[in-house]
Structure 1
Amino acid sequence: MGSNAFLLSIIYLLTGIGVELARRFYPTRLVQQLSLSLDSLPARALELVGALEPLRSAYLDGRISDAQVRLVFGVTTIAVIFLLAFVVGLLVGGLRSYVERRALRKTRQRGPG
């Protein structure tokens, strides 16, 4: 579970770095849309916890740089990915445990043989 989340985080962040480099050097409409799509996950997560508006205000006031916003978005994305992996792991583990217990009960009801 942790290794899958780690791998997914690395892929997401490498994709984000690639899109950000492309946005800076080849700012096409497609690259801009990709950038906005990648930013939507951390932006929604930050909005959910009430941190997006203070971050936006700090950025617009010049108190934090573009790189710092990217860092916050990156850390948020990693946290969301690991949280989702944890929740999915709990659900799959719980379902597996339920199926195993049910199978064990059926085996016991049939008796030896």
Structure 2
Amino acid sequence: MWGNAFLLSVLYLLTGIVVESVRRRYHKPFFERLSMALDSLPARALELVRAMEPLREAYFSGRITDLGVRVVFGLVTVAVIFLLAVVVGAIMAVLRWALMRATRGGHGSPRG
């Protein structure tokens, strides 16, 4: 579970680095849309915890740079991926436990 979450995080961040690098070099609408699509996950997560507006204000007032916003978005993305992996892992563990309990309880030999 942790390995998959780490791998997904690394792939997401590497994709973001490549897309951002290409977007800055070639100013094509496709790369702009792709960059915005990658940014939507951390932006929505930050909006959910009401942290997007303070980040936006800090960016527009010059207290945080483009690189700072990218670092925040990257960290939030990694946190979201790990949180999703933990939740899915916990659900699978509960389902496995329930299945094991049901199969052991239903097919046991009669006592008495």
Equivalence for 1:56: 56
SS of alignment partner, residue 62 of structure 1 = coil
Deviation at residue 11 of structure 1 after TM alignment: 0.4
| Per-residue Cα deviation, 1:49-104 (whole angstroms, up to 9, x for no partner) | 01000000000011110000000000000000000000000001110110111000
Deviation at residue 107 of structure 1 after TM alignment: 1.5
Residues 13-92 of structure 1 correspond to what in structure 2 (within 5 A)?
13-92=13-92
TM-score by length of 1: 0.95
Q: How far, CA to CA, are the matches of 1:30 and 1:105 in structure 2?
A: 57
Where structure 1 has 5 or more consecutive residues not aligned to the other structure, the ranges are none
Q: How far, CA to CA, are the matches of 1:99 and 1:29 in structure 2?
A: 50
Q: How far, CA to CA, are the matches of 1:38 and 1:111 in structure 2?
A: 57
Deviation at residue 41 of structure 1 after TM alignment: 0.2
Q: How many residues align?
A: 111
Where structure 2 has 5 or more consecutive residues not aligned to the other structure, the ranges are none
TM-score by length of 2: 0.96
Indicate the RMSD between aligned Cα atoms, in angstroms.
1.1
Runs (4 or more) in structure 1 with deviation over 4 Å come to none
Q: Percent identity?
A: 56
